[in-house]
Structure 1
Amino acid sequence: MPLPFRLSLPSPRTRRLLWRGLLVAGVGLPLVLTLLFRLLPPPGTPLMLIRAAQGYGLEKDWQPLDAISPHLRRAVIASEDGKFCTHRGFDWDAIGTAFDRLGSGRPLIGGSTISMQTAKNLYLWPGRTFLRKGLEAYLTVYLETLWPKRRILETYLNIVEFGPGLYGAEAAARHYFRKPAAALTAREAALLAALLPDPLDRNPLHPGPALSRHVARIDARADQVRLGTDGACGTG
């Protein structure tokens, strides 16, 4: 019995138009959003939506970099990306170490700079697939090309996850320490920075021995981080 309809592939011209549309979207949309978010706070991130759907809630309060304690800026750089002010988005030594781990059969972890984490948090979903990492690297180039380091650090500190439903330094400081992010001490900043690799399972108010040792290392390294006159990596 003949089928009432027949499926047909798009014509070569239609396929070319589709590919061009995908290319324009893949290049143009990140470009437009990155330029827009250089000037305006992003309204949210994919991770915020995912966590909210999982029932974690959503607390965030965007603050300019000058309203975030220098202690926290130094602690996060010391903890997450010691070469933040000198690289162009990628720490190739750290990436090499991460792939050495993968080659020895261990999970692919580490190697992400603050710039890469900002791109991931701003645009992408959580995960460790090669596709996601490839998109992360692609979007990192946009951020490093179009934003100054100050804006990258400012955005990271405002959108990064600090706990269940907690995003950004201000929400974390008020939730855990009942104070604004501007008033964080060096110890409190190190405690918050220590949450970043595993914010859902760590609590700065009740650090165990391993977390306490990690906090002490961050605190010591933060003393070596020198911020520029712009509050990040450059001159104001």
Structure 2
Amino acid sequence: MPKWGLLLLCVVALGAGYFGGKQVTNNQNYIVVNRLRAVPAIHFISMGVSGDGGYNPKDALKMGELPTVKARSDYSKKLLVKRLKKLGPVGYAKFLILKHRNNTADGTFAWVKEGHFINENPTPQETGFSGFLRQFVYLYGTHLGDFRYISQVWWVFLLGLVAFGWHNKQKMTQLFRLAILGGFAYLLLFEGGRSRYLIQYLPVIILLATMVANDSRKFFVGLSKIALREHNDLK
């Protein structure tokens, strides 16, 4: 199949899936949806420029106070423009750099840092193997720090595989790279500020890391050979 035919097939498949799914959703009666209470996408873009780019409770509360979708949209647009003017071009660029760091830096994906976490006692009380595991993941577990350390090492290793496998230019790896870049751009534009938002992109990141792992290994083997050769030349 020619490339344009494959592209056309993808467009048709995506379009059919989107509009077909939308039709099914609009006609279902299992869940009653009040579309007058819809929150516009511009709200999440505006929220993504506040604070560290994450959830803003004041913005969310305001969406509940405004009576119509148009009012919520107009309010969010004005707030977005106000925040962008306050930051300025240079300030916004710095903000995006910091936001991207917040979006990607934490290997625990913001574990126990927000939300209700565990409704029961956050101090593990159980004994045995289950109690041992809870010590790693509960808020007041004795090994929570170990869990964070292990998670961070795993995350850095995973990102390292992706980064140092750059010379693998197969179509599928390039597609996965585009998907990851698209995810990064999405989180920079909309609400982000926490690494937990990256969980939805983990399948792509893990698949890409697996596909380029051998290339990353060859890269470091090549570096070690060069370093060893230079070391021997200095003797």
Q: Same fold (TM over 0.5)?
A: no
TM-score tier after normalising by the smaller chain length: under 0.3
Higher share in helix: 2
TM-score normalised to the size of structure 2? 0.24
Larger Rg: 2
